[in-house]
Structures are given as structure tokens and as C-alpha cells.
Structure 1
Amino acid sequence: MLNQSKKEKAKKTMMTIQSTQSFSPIQDVSEGIIITKDRRFIKILEISPINFLLRSEDEKRDIIANFDATLRIMPVTIQFKVISRKTDVTRLIKGIEKDIETEQNKNCRTLQKEQIDLIKSVSSKEGVSRRFFIIFEYSESVGLKKTPSFYEIKADLDTTALRIQNMLFRCGNEVMPLENDEDICEVLYTIMAKSESEKKPFETRMNEVISKYLADENYDPDKEAYVPINDYIAPLSIDTKTSPKYIKIDDVYYSFGYIQGKSYGESAVAGWLSMLINLGEGIDVDFFVHKENIAIVTQKLQYALRYNKVKARGMEDTSTDFDDISSAIRSGYYLKAGIASGEDFCYMSTLLTITAHSIDELEWKTNEIKTYLIGQGLKLKLCWFMQEEAFKMSLPVCQFNSQIFKNSKRNLLSSSLAAAYPFVAYEVNDENGILYGINKANNSLVILNNFDSRKYKNANIAILGTTGAGKTYTLQCMALRMRSQKKQVFIIAPDKGHEFKRACDGIGGQYVKISAGSSQNINVMEIRKKDDEASLLIDGDSKVAILTNKIQQLHTFFTLLIRDITNEERQLLDEALVETYAEFGITIDNDSLIDPQNPSKYKQMPILGDLHRHLHNLGPRAERLYNILSRYVTGSASSFNGHTNVNLDNQYIVFDISDLTEEMLPIGMFIVVDYVWDKVREDRTKEKAIFLDELWTLIGANASEEAAKFVLRIFKVIRAYGGSAIASTQDLNDFFALKDGAYGKGIINNSKIKMVLQLEQEEALRVSETLNLSESEVQQITHFQKGESLLTANSNHILIKFKSSKHEHDLVTTDREDLAKQVEEKRKALQRKNN
């Protein structure tokens, strides 16, 4: 009896597991078209969202108006689908692991490993990614024969898709290419087999299926194997019988519910569907729209209006029913007027899919959602005893269950329907990017690759914020992460340069102090041998005289030393420069630069002292040039008179110019930028970044205009050399002061990406004009906590919380308490070592 009981239980359990292939309504996928078992033809489009909620009110109105126009050209039945998943960080982590394999610096490897831990931690707790789809089916078109061919149907669907794409572009949305059947199957696999798709990518699943068919003993290698499409996309198991409250697909529990049609308010704010879309990970939204036949609707409206008016005449105006009838009459006239003006009469329905890995979690999620929606004036009705029907309705085949649709539908005009604009949860998840933090609006990870030229017209970034908001912290974390990706990093620090030394040493970088009394030196007269292999392959040999270019650069250098240099002095300087290089055997013949004793290097270069001597030889006419240069040869700034004595081949170099006086700052800037610019232009195929902290010191009201010109040129030209200029600044009034803000505005306009940290009210208002911020954004900026910022990328705005690892934090923090803890920890470590 016991054995029999076990068998019966096993049999009962087995009966609850349905065939997943037969459960699927999909017959095939061919040339981008989904073909269902009931011979319907479905097109699916993936849509790139925008950050709608952070747009200004005028922008929102424009977007809703354009979406209204889009809805009018859409087919009769449309399904909008939004799926939410834990952010897939596999590629990002694999990229870091690949960098670790070839990284020579031990400290950098430590940083890279901590980055992996940070990414895993943040993605497991907070990272949510969403995908947006429009699904529509073929319906008989005027002009096509009664039984059109597949290719005629495909052409009709493709034409509709193109119209939708063009209309959505006006809203700011792009249709992301699903270029082949494999892309379509990947979408279907992600939706139908949630658990499996999170464990293995579609390509792996596809290869496994194909391998099983090839290994079958009945497989004939001379014939092309036919693999049913559902073998690729269907889950492993589906249990629909265990409970009327949920179904179980593989190891995930599903529950479905719809928004009751009667619970929708009479009016809605633009983008109201975002309250459902941003509910969280594992909660999907299906929004169905069905357009009714206008002629039939008009006839029914006229009948309903006549009936209600007659009914109202026989009622007392104090009756409760009278109010309801009056409301119905007003609604009837409103619908009639809208239809007369060309609007569509529609029904909408909203279905929620709630998933979890346990029954307890599923119940908790469901109760939380119901409570939240009650607070929003909406009622969620669970699909008990209809879970299987609801699941099939949630599949991307544009087919709704009549009973669920009847209970959940709400009628409205297309203009009102447009307020449900669903493409609202903008995410930044760029391939080969670096982690910035969390999108506060929807908990998605912000992974940005500013070097992606397909997305961003340039790679420049401007970071704005008040004192103590975290600008330098953010800038240094970005620099460390770019170095971890093997990008060349240069940091120019015109203020508080010592704050960069700890991170520089911690990642094995080169810290260079440029000042009048520094022992470190970069020879301004040095002609450096460039790695020009890539340029030669791209452009060929340009035959430009290298010495001529260098002398032109040195002329610029002397205009910084002598602001009122005359034309005669320029000529004398030019003569002295030519003679100085000639003394070292260097002429306009590029081969003269080669050291005959070591052909892989250039000859020894002159220094300022050699030029000084040749100016002296020119006599009284060059006396002013000679006397002014004396300060940099034999005077207080003689440290500039020497050969380069620092390693400038490091991938992470900090130039500290913070000890230079206002007078000397342009000189130091020129020496640094002259070197950096040589390196930036070496190989256009390599990514590199120049970071400039406290930019206001270089382009502010009291700054040298020549130094400001250097900076603006970097931002304007660096894109052409595969580079990025990244700057942070405070004191925005000063930032926009020089030349009536020409340099500040120039840098902002040449930065496709901006990060705005906390600002004072006056500064926030100043920035709002330049960045086109809304009043809401301005208010949020003034109340940001440390680490919070508004990221603007192209036309999208994102509120983010910056994330850093402990090791990064220890390297870049300037907080007094943090530094005190570090001192105490190091003191204790030293005591333990001595003991």
C-alpha cells in the first residue's frame, strides 16, 4: 500500500507538468516574423526608452503629442511589453577579468578585483534592467489579395514597423535592431524561460539543443536537421495545476494580476504607467490597446446619449443616480467630440506578471504591490484560477484572453491613451563601460562608456559641483577605473595637487610636481620620439618637418613669457631657436633627429640654457628676450632649465601644478599640455583621457587667457585623436566669468556628458540655463547628498548615486575623519610590525 501510495503521488505530480513545447503558442520564427500556431503573423520591435520623468513640462507635452500621433498610425491591436530583470553584468566582469590577466601592476590588479566585487554586490542588491517592446499582428490590408503570401504579409508588417519607428523618433525613442531570427528567438527565450535565460545566454541554449539533435542516433548528416523553434525558446518545465494562485515555470513562481478597469481615474498625469514599470525586478507589465470601429462606436454613443437623456428627465436632480447619469452624458459628449476631431476610440488593459523564487517571496511581493497601488488609486485583481490563461496572454503574441480583457478594460480616446507613454525608464548600460553607480529613478546600474562614438559625439565630461560635493572624489574614481581598463590617463591638478598623490602611488602611477623649485623637470625644448606606427598606416608619411612644428610650439611658449613680444623679437627668437637645434645637429630634415649611436632614439636635445646662450650671441637687439629668459635659466625658476628626468611612459600620470603662482601657471600649463598633447596625438586608435581638476583656476575671471585657450583647445580637438577631456569645477560664477563666459560655455558645449553634483541655489539656476534643466531638477540639485548627481548624456537626464569600493575610497577620500582613521590603522600596523 505504501509503495502504491508513492506511485500515485508521483503520477499525480507528473500530471501537473505540461509539455512546454505544446504549451507555447508559437509555431515558427521566419525572417523576423513570429508565426503562431493559429496562423497569425506577429512583428516585435524593441524600443530604447528616454528619461521622460526628468524632462521639462514643455518637453513632456511634445512627447505625449507625438506619441498620440504614433498611436493613431498603429494597427488595431497593440501590445506594449516591459520586462525587468537583474542587470546582467557578465560581460562587464569578463572584460575586467581579461584586463587582470595582462595587468603587470599588482596594485592595479587589486583595484580590478575589488571592482568585480563591487559590481557583483551592487548588481545583486539593486541592479535592475528593463527592456521595452511593441508587439502587433498582421491584419488584412487594403490592396492585398484575400490570401496574401508570406512575403506580402512580411512586407506589410515591415512597412508598419517603419512608420512606427519614424513616429517614435519624434518622441526621442529609437527602435533597436532585432536583425535576424536569432535576435527574435533571444527575446522569446528571455520572456518564456526567465529562469533558464538568467543562467545561460541564448547562444549557449541554442548550441546545446543543436548538439542534442546531432547526437541523436536517428540523425542523418546528409539531411538538414529541422529543430522545432520551441526547443530553443521554451522552458524546461511548466506546472499549472499545483495551485490556482500561481504557476511554476522551471524554478520560478509566477502570479498574474490586472488593474481593474473601473479603478482608473478620470484623468491621468503624463507617463503614469511608470508607476508600474518601476515597481522592481521580476515584475513585468503588459499594456494592451484595442481600437474600436469608429462607425460602430459612433452609433452606440448616439444611442447611449439618447437613452441617458431620456432617463435623466424622469429623475430628481437630488438623486444619486442622477449624478451618475449626468456624468455618463458628459462623458458621452466628450467621446463624441473627440471622435469627430479624428481621435480613435480605444480600450486599454494592464496585466502585471509577478515572479519570485519562493512562494513566500511571491506572496510578499504581491501584497506589497497591492498596497502600493491602492495608495495610487488603483486596484489589482489577481487572476486566481486563470493563471495559465494570464501567462499565455503575457506572451509577446498580441493575443488577450477575452475574460481578463473584459474585466480589466477601460475605454478612452487616443489623446488620453497617449498619457500612458510607456518608454520612461531610461538606462545607461554601455558595452565596455565603467560603473558609475545606481540610477535612483529605477534602480538600474549606470555603466557608461564615454568613448562609444556611436552614442556620444565626443567623449568629454564636465563635472560641476559646490565645495565638498565630491567632485575630486568622483573624478579620481573615474580615472582609476579607466586606468584599470588600460586606458592612458593624464591628470592635471592646478589646485590641491597633493590630493591625487595617494591614488597615483596606489595604482603604480607617476606623480610629477611642476613648480619653480621642483627637482622634477620636463624639458620644454625636447622633441620626443612618437609612436607613429598607426598614423603611418592610416595616413601614410606626411613629410612634415618635425622641427618646424616644435619651433612653432616654442613661439607660443614665449608669448606666455613675454605678453607684448614684438615682431622683431619673434624673428630674433626664431633665428636663435634654429641655431640652437642646429648646434645639436637637428635640422628640418627629420632624419637629423635620429641618434646614429642608437637609431631607435632621438639625439640629445637642447635645454633653455642653450637657447639663452644663443640669444646672448644675437647682441642688444635680443637683450629683452635674453633678460626675461634668465629667470628660467639662472634665476628662481631655474628648475625649468634641465633635461626631462621623470618617467613619462606610465599609464597613469598626475601633473601637480598647484604650487605655481598665477604668473607662472600658464608656463607650467604649457609644459604639461605640450607633453600630453604629443602623447595624445601619437596613436588615434588608442583611448586616452585628460583629467583637469578645479578647472575654474585655469579659465576663471583671474586666470590667464592663454591658459584658458590651452584648455578649450583640448576639449575641442581631443576627439579627433581618440581621446577624452574630463574636467571638474566649482565656483560657477567664476567659471563663466572670463571673456563673458566664452571659455566656460565652450567647455560645457564641447562636453557631451555632464555630471552636476550639489550646487547652491544661485549656481543651480545659472547651470539650468546652460543645461536646460527643469525646475524640479534644479530643486533636486540643491538638496543632493554627497555622491549624488544628475548625469546628462545627450538629451537624457539621470539621477545617480555614485558607488565606490573600499580600496578606491581609501585612495581618494579627502574627508578628515576618513584620513584620521587611515593614520590610526597605519600606526597600529607599524606597531605590530615593530613588535
Structure 2
Amino acid sequence: AGMDTKDFICPPSLKFNKADFEIGNAYGAVWGMNILAGELPDEILKDFLEMQNLFCVNIHVDPLDQIDALKFVKKKLTNVEQMKIDEQKKASQSGYDPDILPPAIKMYIEDIEKLLGDLNSKNERLFHISISLRAYAKSKKELKLLSEMLKRTCQKNNCIMFPYDYRQEQTLVSTLPLGYNEIPVRREMHTSGIAIFVPFTTKELFQDGQATYYGINTLSGNMIRANRSRLKNPNGLILGTPGAGKSFSVKREILDCFLTTVDDIIICDPEGEYFPLVSALHGQLIRIASNSEQHINPMDIAIDDYMFSNPMEVIANKSDFLISLCEIIVGGRYGLSAEERSVIDKCVQRIYKHFIENEPTEDKMPLLSDLQRELHEEGEVALRVANSLEMFVNGSQNLFNHRTNIDMSNRIICFDIKELGNQLKKVGMLIVQDTVWNRVSANREKKKITRYYIDEFHLLLKEEQTAKYSAEIWKRFRKWGGVPTGITQNVKDLLSSQEVENIFDNSDFVYMLNQAAGDRDILAEKLHISKEQMKYVTNSGPGEGLIRYDKVLLPFTDKFPTDTEMYRLMTTKPTESA
């Protein structure tokens, strides 16, 4: 039809008046901004951009050649010196002390001499700067109101706003992104002064592809999207006081990962909070309890090519786990002796060598009863361990002496250990960790990422055996394609021993919600967080805090609409979940 892009972008009409212009059915105006002060506050642009109105701050910066700049400043200094001499002459003629000068002249001389020194020795440059404000409104009344708001903001920052009478057309064109400047008012400023108008004062975190949404950058209002798999060390921690929104944040990440990636997701749930979400995603919920019909075999190993090519490494890993398991079961002040550890290792090697060498299948997988039988054969040295296993093999807590009867191939699996007693909970959480390790081993062969979420992480850190096993996961999961995440209330739990402290040091992703006073000090020291940044985790509301992604540290706000089905699935508030 003979039309081009401009026909669709341009308004139907423009009419220029004395101090404003009509643009279609709306009104607009361009004003100039004159800088009165020698220095400007560095939040001048922030004050403008916090206003939720339709307007534009336009800045034209034109650099001067360094030689021309020096000539210009020297000429200004000469002019001011001449003003000083004229004032001194007047003072002498009137009988006053010639050294008494108007304050303005003294200030001008000091400022110009300082600028001249900066241009000569501090790598400063001189620029011409023109600043204008362009605004739009649906009516003249709205436009006038907006102009008053802008005028107040200018006055607050030692500037004055004035109209461009009869120059609306030239100044409108100058405020468009064309590099064309017909604005008549300009001011000279050096590099440090110009830097105040650079708006990029915040860090951003926005990655494309399969990235997870973590909220809005509190400072800039931009989205935060990141893929933890791209980190050198993708291990993560989610920290916050009760009610700060830890579980909700974890569910947000789980849901995002489920929808935007093909990663496997495994959850250890000591409080039974994740059932609604896992159920809605058609995941596998595994209820581990004394009366449950679902069973996990702690003696399981992944039957794959890696097992056949590296049998001794697989057996060594299993032996390490079973020694930790027996240490929790035997208990006592000192746990297992060195002889008992050696005997357990010897029995484990014997069991699995026989299993691997004789056409291994899931139906032939060893059980805890096999380990107990082997220990009985070792005689007196293994008797204490074998007797301690009796309750878990033939006694009332024999739920772990069965072959696994659950579909472990589901993409999202949740282990619900809420109904386990305190002693069994430690055993259950350790067995869950080993089951996850087997899944990570199987996925490594498929080049697939496995995400593992451990809620109430501090429960694992209280016991030496589970803490050591957790630290091992944090050290080695990365190489196997695992992305573990610990959710806990207190940072102090992560500093209880040198072993556990490695978990904190080996986590490049830290999601911090509201923190207790003692924890804030630890985080500030460990992560080098400034006092200003710590304000975002001090008495902050749910879904507000700081996120650390490698070396990027920025505040976030994650407000989720409460009238949605997704919110109902993820909330942990008793009144709302009911």
C-alpha cells in the first residue's frame, strides 16, 4: 500500500504550541534542566526513575578535545580573576579592605583551580552536557501536574527546570534517539560529574535458555533468571528464619526446573510439606514409615556399565555408606571401633563381589539380613554390630530389610520421612541419601542432571555420620551431574565442624531470606556482604532477601499471586493450605 514502518510508528498529527505540543489525542512537553550546584548527588537519576509516570530523561554528552578543554578552563579562570580585580578596585575606592571578596568569587576560583588540576594530573576530561525532560499526558491538567512533580525532583537535587518556549519542535527532535542536538542550554562538566548520570549502578543476573526464575531485582526491577548447572560448583543453600519463605522458594525452583528442564528432581521431606506439589506433577511419593508398604533397600547398587567397569570403586562407596549406617544403628558414645569397621568392610566386599560375579539382577540384590549373616560368621569381633542389626532385620523396625518395590524411574521423587521416629529418622535420611547417590550414578551414564533438595538440612548435620556423608555429597556430586540443595534455618549449623564447614565453602549458590541477628554476622563475614546489603535480610518480609550466584550478589523480591492454583500447591501456611 506504499506504507513503511514510520507510518505505523509516527503519531497521526503533531501541533506545537508555545510551551507544549499536541501529539494525536494526547499532550506532551519538553523542559530543560539547569544544574545550579557544583556537584550533584549520585541518586539524581534514581529519584526520576522511581516516578511511575510516562516521561523521559534525555542527556546529550559531547566531549571536548583535551587541549581545547584546558584553554577553555584557563580562559574561565582569567575571567574570574578579572572579576576579583574589579571587586578589589571597587573596595579600595570605597575605602574597604580589598581582601574582602564576595563568597561567590572565592568559590569560583577554588572550583576552577581544582578542575584545572584534575584535567592536568588526574586523567579527567571535560564535556558539554545538555539535559532535558520529555513527558506525555492524556490532558493538559495531567501534564501540568507532572511538570510540578518533575520540578520538585529537580529542586531537591539542586537543579532548576524551565520551559523551552517556542522551541518545542527543535527540543522534541533533540530528545529522540537520533544523536541530534539542538538544545540551546548546556553546561561543562568533568568525567566524575558525568559519571553520576550513568544509570548502570546495579548488577543484573539474567541468563537465557533453561534458566530458573528467582524473583525481581529489588534495585532495578528487572527479572532474575539463572541456571545453576552453569556454575563451576552448582551446590546450593537456602537459608532463612521460620516463616521467611524457605519451603515456598524451594517449591518455586522445583516447579520451574520441572517445567523448563529435563532434569530429575529428588526431595527429602522430613515434614511432609511437598506432597501436594509432587502429586500435582504426577511424581512418585515414597512414604517411609514402620507401617508403610513402600520399601527401599539400603543395600541397592545401580546395575549398569559403570558397575561392571569399576566394581571396586562401587563396592568402596557402598562400604563407606554401610559403615556410616551401622555407626548410627550401633550408636553409643564412641560408635564403631577400628576392628568393627574393618570387619564390616570385609563382609561388604564379600557380598558384592559374589553379587556382581553371578549375573546380577534386581531380584538378587543383597539385603540387610545378608550383611547380618556375614557378620555372624566373623565371630566375636562383629557380634555387637550383628546384634544391633537384629531390630532392623527381624524386629519391629524391619522396614529396611526388603527389596525396593517402588518405581524409581519417575522424574520427580519425594521421600516423606515425617512418620519416622527420631532414631529411625537419622537412618532414613542416610538411606535416602544413598538412594539419591545411586540415582545420580545411573544418570551420569545418561549425561542427565539430578537435583537433590534436602529440607530441614540441620537434622543431618547434627550427627557425625550423616554430616560426613552430606559433606561428601557436596564435594563429589558436581562431577557426577548432581545439584544438591540444603534448606536450613541457621547458618551456625553449617559451622559446627571443619567437615561441615566445607558444605558452606563448596556452595556457589546461596539464597538468603530473613536472617537471625547472629547468622547475619556470620554471613557478612563469610560472603563479604556489606552493611547496606545486609539490610535486605534484616527483618525482611517473606520472599525478600539476597541471592548469591558465584560472585554476583544482589537483592531480590519474589511476590507470588495468592489467588492461583500454583500458590495453593506451594504454600505452607496452615490456614491457606487447608
Instruction: Answer yes or no: same fold by TM over 0.5.
Output: yes
Q: Which residue, out of 334, 337, 349, partners 2:114?
A: 334
Deviation per residue, 1:756-787 (Å, 9 max, x gap): 22223333223222222222233342231222
Tell me whether 1:463 sits opposite 2:238 in the alignment: yes
Matches within 5 A, 1:781-800: 781-793=537-549, 794-800=551-557
Residue 181 of structure 2 aligns to which amino acid in structure 1? Answer: F
* Pairing of 1:738-749 with structure 2 (within 5 A): 738-739=496-497, 743-744=500-501, 746-749=502-505
Q: Would you say the 8 A contact 1:515–1:660 is kept in 2?
A: yes
Q: CA deviation at 1:617?
A: 3.5
Residue 561 of structure 1 is aligned with which of 316, 326, 330? Answer: 326
- The change in CA–CA distance for 1:361 and 1:576 in structure 2 (over 3 A counts) is farther
TM-score normalised over the length of structure 1: 0.59
The correspondence of residues 521-670 of structure 1 with structure 2, limited to 5 A, is: 521-529=295-303, 544-546=309-311, 549-550=314-315, 552-562=317-327, 564-566=335-337, 568-581=339-352, 586-588=355-357, 592-593=359-360, 595=361, 602-660=362-420, 663-670=423-430
CA distance in 2, matches of 1:231, 1:610: 81
Paired position in structure 2 for 1:69: none
Question: Could you say what secondary structure the match of 1:261 adopts?
Answer: strand
Give the whole-Å Cα distance in 1 for the aligned partners of 2:504 and 2:25.
Answer: 48
What's the CA shift string for 1:647-676, capped at 9, x where partnerless? 222222222334555654543233111211
Residues of 1 paired with 2:173 and 2:279: CA distance? Answer: 59
| Equivalent residue, structure 1, for 2:558 | 801
> Relative to 1, partners in 2 of residues 1:526 and 1:274: Cα closer, same or farther, differing over 3 Å?
same
CA shift for structure 1 position 278: 4.8
Identify which of 238, 259, 274 aligns with 1:484: 259
Conserved in 1, the CA contact under 8 Å of 2:453 and 2:485? yes
2:322 aligned with 1:322, yes or no? no
CA distance in 1 between counterparts of 2:239 and 2:85 reads: 66
Partner of 2:571: 813
Change (3 A) 1:430 1:255: farther
Aligned residues: 555
Query: Could you say what secondary structure the match of 2:451 adopts?
Result: strand
Does residue 717 (structure 1) correspond to residue 489 (structure 2)? The answer is no
Give, as a single letter, the amino acid of the residue that structure 2 aligns with 1:749. Answer: D
Residue 679 of structure 1 and its aligned partner are, at CA, apart by 1.9
Change in 2 beyond 3 A, CA 1:341/1:582: closer
Q: Which of 261, 271, 279 is matched with 2:34 structurally? A: 261
Give the counterpart of 2:201 among 424, 437, 440: 424
Q: Does 1:389 align with 2:179?
A: no
Task: Specify the alignment match of 1:297 in structure 2.
Answer: 72
Q: Distance in 2 between matches of 1:723 and 1:363?
A: 59
1:410 equivalent among 167, 175, 187: 187
Could you list the per-position Cα deviations for residues 722-758 of structure 1 after superposition, in whole angstroms to 9, with x for gaps in the alignment? Answer: 442222221333343x116x524x3333333322222
| Runs of at least 4 residues off by over 6 Å | 230-234, 251-254, 356-364
Cα distance per residue 1:391-424 (max 9 Å; x no partner)? 54345554422xx1x42x3323323333444312
Which ranges of structure 2 fall in alignment gaps of 5 or more residues? 328-333
Distance in 2 (alpha carbons) for counterparts of 1:312 and 1:797: 55
1:223 alignment counterpart: none
Asked if 1 retains the 8 angstrom alpha-carbon contact of 2:33 and 2:133, the reply is: no
* CA shift for structure 1 position 326: 3.1
Q: What is the DSSP-based 3-state SS (H/G/I as helix, E as strand, rest coil) of the residue aligned with 2:413?
A: strand
- Return closer, same or farther for 1:559/1:523 CA change in 2, 3 Å cut-off: same
Deviates more, 1:574-583 or 1:517-526: 574-583
> Could you tell me how far apart the structure 1 residues matched to 2:145 and 2:224 are?
28
Q: Is the 8 A contact 2:458 2:493 kept in 1?
A: yes
RMSD: 3.7
Residue of 444, 447, 455 corresponding to 2:222: 444
Question: Structure 2 CA distance, aligned partners of 1:236 and 1:352?
Answer: 21
Q: Matched residue of 1:260: which SS?
A: strand
Secondary structure of the structure 1 residue equivalent to 2:558 = strand
Q: Deviations over 1:73-123 (max 9, x none)?
A: xxxxxxxxxxxxxxxxxxxxxxxxxxxxxxxxxxxxxxxxxxxxxxxxxxx
Structure-2 change in CA distance of 1:751 and 1:281 (3 Å): farther
CA contact 1:559–1:565 (8 Å) conserved in 2: no
1:802 counterpart SS class: coil
Assess if the C-alpha contact under 8 Å between 1:477 and 1:804 holds in 2.
Answer: no
Aligned-residue offset at 1:641: 0.6
Please identify, of 573-582 and 506-515, the stretch whose mean Cα deviation from structure 2 is larger. 573-582
* Aligned mates of 1:317, 1:472 — CA distance in 2: 76
Query: Is 2:34–2:161's contact at 8 Å kept on the other side of the alignment?
Result: no
TM-score in terms of structure 2 length: 0.83
Identity %, equivalent residues: 24
CA distance in structure 1 between the aligned counterparts of 2:559 and 2:456, rounded to whole angstroms = 20
**Paired residue type of 1:434:** T
Give CA-to-partner distance per residue, 1:510-531, whole Å, 9 cap, x none.
222335554432111122345x
Going from structure 1 to structure 2, the CA distance change for 1:237 and 1:461 (only over 3 Å counts) comes to same
Asked whether the 8 Å contact 2:536–2:544 carries over to 1, the reply is no
Matched residue SS, 2:487: strand
Aligned partner of residue 682 in structure 1, secondary structure: helix
Partner of 1:768: 524
Question: Residue 578 of structure 1: CA displacement?
Answer: 4.7
Q: State how far apart, in whole Å, the 2-side matches of 1:272 and 1:338 are.
A: 24
Q: Distance in 2 between matches of 1:252 and 1:664?
A: 73
Pair 1:779 & 2:556 matched: no
Change (3 A) 1:644 1:757: same
Q: Secondary structure at the match of 1:273?
A: helix
Q: 2:488 aligns with which of 712, 715, 729?
A: 729
The question of whether the paired residues in 2 share the 8 Å contact of 1:346 and 1:412 is answered with yes
- The one-letter amino acid of 1:261's match is N
- Cα distance, 1:775–1:259 mapped onto 2, change above 3 Å: farther
In structure 2, what is the Cα distance between the partners aligned to 1:499 and 1:529?
32
SS at match of 2:309: coil
Q: Any stretches of 5+ residues in structure 1 without a counterpart?
A: 1-211, 217-229, 533-540, 596-601, 823-835
2:269 aligned with 1:493: yes
* Residues 768, 774 of structure 1: 8 Å contact kept: yes
- 1:640 Cα deviation (Å)? 1.1
Number of the residue aligned with 2:330:
none
CA offsets 1:462-504 (integer angstroms, 9 cap, x no match):
222112212122222222232233432211234xx22222333
Change (3 A) 1:675 1:382: farther
Separation in structure 2 between the aligned mates of residue 418 and residue 719 of structure 1, nearest angstrom: 42
1:276-315 map, 5 Å: 276-280=48-52, 283-292=55-64, 293-313=68-88, 314-315=90-91
Q: What is the distance in 1 between the residues matched to 2:353 and 2:515?
A: 55
Distance in 2 between the 1:283 and 1:588 partners? Answer: 76
